[in-house]
Chains A and B, each alone.
Chain A
Amino acid sequence: MKAVATTALALFGGAVWANPQPDQLNLTKGVTTWSGEPYFLNNVAFGVCVVIGIVVFGAMFISMFKFRKSRGAVAEKWTHNTKLEALWTGVPIIILIVLAKLATTGLVSFADTTGSEMTIKVTGYQWKWRYDYVDYQGKAVEKVGFMSKLDGRSDRTRQLGSGMDPGKVTVDGYNTYLLDVDHPLVLPINTKVRFVITGADVIHSWWVPALGWKMDAIPGVINSAWTNIKEPGVYRGQCAELCGQDHGFMPIVVKAVPKAEFEQWLATQQDEAKLLKASQTAQTAPAPKGQG
């Protein structure tokens, strides 16, 4: 019974499993207003495949059992059956139309980046990400942006012959080996966030499974995508397009927090940026003449 429950959870665990889990069998349902679309489509398409598989493979196994020469089966001569052929051409078309309808709905809603409340610019580098906060609630954000790269513990552990145990790289009991960064992307929940995504050197792909999509980060191209996270949490992903030797070592971490907390965080970041700018100005400005 426990095994059944575990399997069921592994197959349809859904939202509780935003991040990869040991022995996970199915897609995550994700945590955004849109991420249920691929999950739903995946489950419907899988179900359709299972049913067709049972029919087709069932027919094969029955014929392998019934029509064996060793059981005295005598081969028949027919090679054609118009009704049957029309049936197995027509029925798949109907199934495909249903799937196409569902998939089109998902595509149309994904393509709609209008009405966003904030903009994040994501830039892929070999082998780290840069996040720039462009605007929030209609106001431009000044100088909040940072690089985000693999955390130190994972980086030391992943060296060839390090002798360190990847199993020991954990945060709050969750193994974060190769799935943790120094500076996560902080986002507010219940906010439609528009991403503009590009690449600085080669093509990367920005993918957090809990958000339900990936989008290539291509030099010279600006792609857009959006998300609206429903639940606070830490959501982990990885670069999904081969980008050179450390392609496997440039994870993505999104930290989703309540709006108030986010606004506070953003204000602190902006203040720090101002302070930094002020101190830089003080250092580089020529000394006032009066005191010279």
Chain B
Amino acid sequence: MAHAAHDQHDLHDHEHHGPPKNFIERWVFSTNHKDIGTLYLVFALTMFFIGGSFAMVIRAELFKPGLQLVQPYFFNEMTTLHALVMIFGAIMPAFVGLANWMIPLMVGAPDMALPRMNNLSFWLMPFAFCVLLSTLFMPGGGPAGGWTMYPPLSLQGESIAYTVFAVHLMGISSIMGAINIIATILNMRAPGMDLLKMPVFVWSWLITAFLLIAVMPVLAGAVTMLLTDKYFGTNFFNAAGGGDPVLYQHIFWFFGHPEVYIMILPAFGIVSEIIPTFARKPIFGYKAMVFAIASIAFLSFIVWAHHMFAVGLPMGAEIFFMYATMLIAVPTGVKVFNWVTTMWGGSMTFETPMLFSIAFVILFTIGGFSGLMLALAPADFQYHDTYFVVAHFHYVLVTGAAFAIIAAAYYWIPKWSGNMYNETWGKIHFWSSVISVNVLFFPQHFLGLAGMPRRIPDYNVAFANFNMISSIGGFWFGASQLIFLGVVIHTVFFAKKKSPDRSWEGAKGLEWTVPSPAPFHTFAVPPVINDDELAHGHVDH
């Protein structure tokens, strides 16, 4: 057996290059992709709870009409920071953590291509968020102009310099992470791991990394212009000085739309690994899946102004951006149909990762449906900036991206920790989450259609019932995530049940050929690739 020989190599390496015993040396100075992956995941989970606590404040204030808990300005700080923390602190680092852990294992590489840069790109993140969140404790307060930071409003805030600096740090971190991922995938695959034999997760991250490199500098430019407008007397976005506030929105969304796909493409990849495993059937249309991700990534660059249908664009521009946006439904539809067809004719079991993946497919598709409705510009004149939009992007980001991350955590935690999580509690977490998240977000469609704008701290009595239902769902969903925290802690530190190397009966791919937990160093000698062991080893169409 080829891989048995490698295990011996791994053990051999383990003796000489095990993790440092010193805590600081091991975690702060780490250049090991697994440890850095763990750091990213722990950081993301922490941010998930911080961002979640902001959401709890929002839902508590919106529980019933009238202001009960917070002043409107603080409410705006909460909506702004909730978005910034969840997007840049929770979802993106979680995906980078998964990439760090799994890409070298999946392509048969000993580590990431640039391990020291890997350390730097992680350690920028905690500082970025300390800078961002410290504004909450300062006299001027935190950023309150929305995560999109539209001028002139964002320039009224006193925390813009801190916010811009934090965004720069996050951007640098993301760009370095992306460079590292591209370098690893293109240069460090084991011999025989052809591009078209790579797991879909690896493909999705390769494409995502290019998106990151393309658009993070654009965001950096946009926020730097905000900074100079505020402090250095420029007038990029100041109409009185010959600038244009709408220019900012064009620049921001040229970053912002690819950004939303940065947050969903790796999720597509994860689900494309999990569903075949538990359906015990190879993914349907591997090449179509890869091509669909690439098409979506391309289209993401030419649809930005659909976030701006109400800014008064010329009719020709509205028509172009509407058509381009609608076109995204085609590759996205292909992906959904392929997942369903992968399940069809399989031999399915429903462990927690599979449950979250199935919920992902259904609920992400519902988010896609509202996305299609939002693409229709005349209808968007009504939907824009209402709770309908809030419902839409939470369906794609919470039941989409976050559910995929949770599915990935359940799927790979046996490999990471060597222990099996408690399936009963995993299922309790799933059912509690999937019911509460719909109680939370589904009524928000109705609120938006009935005319409730987003980002308001108080509302007319007509919106009272659905807001109360949504808040109850919110508290329930928030509490459900404490179950997840419990399951993770239990699995890592206390679980008695050991996981075999191949944690799941139907699992294929190189990551399952190494021991559980994965040794500190793996694939020091490139593995010999056996196509039968790969999830996508036989692509002949």
Interface residues in chain A, defined as those with a beta carbon under 8 Å from any beta carbon in chain B: 19-28, 37-39, 41-42, 45-46, 48-49, 52-53, 56-57, 59-60, 63-64, 67-70, 73-81, 84-85, 88-89, 92-93, 96, 99-100, 102-104, 106-108, 110-111, 157-162, 164-167, 175-179, 197, 201-203, 205, 207, 209, 212-216, 218-221, 223-224, 237-249
Q: Is A69 a contact partner of B349 (Cβ separation < 8 A)? A: yes
Within 8 A of A (CB), among B408-453: 446, 449-453
Known: A59-B344, A60-B343. A248 touches B462 (CB 8 A): no
Q: Is B341 a contact partner of A84 (Cβ separation < 8 A)? A: yes
Alpha-carbon distance between A159 and B68 when the two chains are bound, in angstroms: 9
B534 proximal to A (CB < 8 A): no
Contacts of B69 in A (CB 8 A): 160
Q: Is B378 a contact partner of A221 (Cβ separation < 8 A)? A: no
A-B contact pairs, 24 of them (CB 8 A): A21-B450, A22-B462, A24-B451, A38-B379, A41-B376, A60-B340, A63-B340, A63-B344, A67-B346, A75-B346, A78-B345, A79-B286, A81-B341, A85-B337, A100-B323, A107-B319, A162-B67, A166-B458, A166-B460, A178-B459, A213-B382, A248-B72, A248-B456, A248-B458
Alpha-carbon distance between A36 and B407 when the two chains are bound, in angstroms: 43
Contacts of B341 in A (CB 8 A): 81, 84
Within 8 A of A (CB), among B74-101: 76
Nearest CB of chain B from residue A139's CB, rounded to whole Å: 27
Q: Which of B330, B345, B365, B373 contacts A93 (CB 8 A)?
A: B330
Known: A111-B315, A240-B386, A247-B455. A20 touches B446 (CB 8 A): no
Q: Which of A41, A106, A177 contacts B460 (CB 8 A)?
A: A177
Q: Is B378 a contact partner of A76 (Cβ separation < 8 A)? A: no
Alpha-carbon distance between A75 and B370 when the two chains are bound, in angstroms: 34
Q: Is A56 a contact partner of B336 (Cβ separation < 8 A)? A: yes
Contacts of A221 in B (CB 8 A): 239, 244-246, 311-312
Alpha-carbon distance between A103 and B460 when the two chains are bound, in angstroms: 31
Known: A26-B449, A203-B153. A215 touches B245 (CB 8 A): no
Alpha-carbon distance between A37 and B382 when the two chains are bound, in angstroms: 10
B298 proximal to A (CB < 8 A): no
**Which 5 A-B pairs have CB atoms at the shortest separation, nearest pair first?**
A220-B239, A248-B456, A106-B378, A223-B312, A24-B450
Q: Is B152 a contact partner of A202 (Cβ separation < 8 A)? A: yes
B512 proximal to A (CB < 8 A): no
Q: Is B461 a contact partner of A167 (Cβ separation < 8 A)? A: yes
Contacts of B65 in A (CB 8 A): 166-167, 177
Alpha-carbon distance between A68 and B281 when the two chains are bound, in angstroms: 12
Q: Is A177 a contact partner of B461 (Cβ separation < 8 A)? A: yes
Q: Is B240 a contact partner of A41 (Cβ separation < 8 A)? A: no
Q: Is B343 a contact partner of A110 (Cβ separation < 8 A)? A: no
Contacts of B269 in A (CB 8 A): none
Q: Is B384 a contact partner of A214 (Cβ separation < 8 A)? A: yes
Q: Is A73 a contact partner of B446 (Cβ separation < 8 A)? A: no
Known: A59-B340, A243-B153. A67 touches B345 (CB 8 A): yes
B377 proximal to A (CB < 8 A): yes
* Stretch in contact with the other chain, from B15-23, B142-150, B177-185: B142-150
Q: Which of A20, A53, A73, A103 contacts B463 (CB 8 A)?
A: A20
Alpha-carbon distance between A26 and B466 when the two chains are bound, in angstroms: 13
Q: Is A240 a contact partner of B453 (Cβ separation < 8 A)? A: yes
Alpha-carbon distance between A52 and B283 when the two chains are bound, in angstroms: 22
Nearest CB of chain A from residue B50's CB, rounded to whole Å: 22
Q: Is B310 a contact partner of A205 (Cβ separation < 8 A)? A: yes
Known: A59-B344, A70-B349, A75-B346. A238 touches B330 (CB 8 A): no
